Amino acid sequence: MDDQDTAAALWPVIDELLTRLEANRTNTGTQGALLRVLKLSEEVGEVAEAVIGATGDNPRKGFSHTWEDVQRELCDVAITALVALRSLTPQAQEVFEQHLKGVRERPLSPPA
């Protein structure tokens, strides 16, 4: 599967996830959108927990996670961000692709 196939398959899945979430939503409007964005903080916290568990840096828990757990949690962050973006605009794909293009074109080092 090439990049275009992956992108083409991604957005219908994001739309499906959003539809499923909307069907079970108790908060709507601005409050619902804000809560969807705040969900990102929860997911990022799960990444942090997995990294700490993968490195064994919590003396009470030791090595409680694997690097595969970290990978899965990072995927959850990406999915949650895309669903949040889609909940804010029906043009999420276009917004994301335009932003990605801009990020790709940024220089990696400060100007001399």
With a cut of 70, say whether residue 3 has pLDDT above it.
no
Contact in structure between 103 and 92 (CB atoms under 8 Å)? no
What secondary structure letter does DSSP report for 90? T
Averaged pLDDT, 48-58 = 96
Which band of pLDDT confidence, cut at 50, 70 and 90, is reported for residue 5?
confident
Q: Give me the percent of the chain exceeding a pLDDT of 70.
A: 96
55-to-73, 78, 90 alpha-carbon distances in Å: 15, 22, 40
pLDDT at residue 8, rounded to an integer:
77
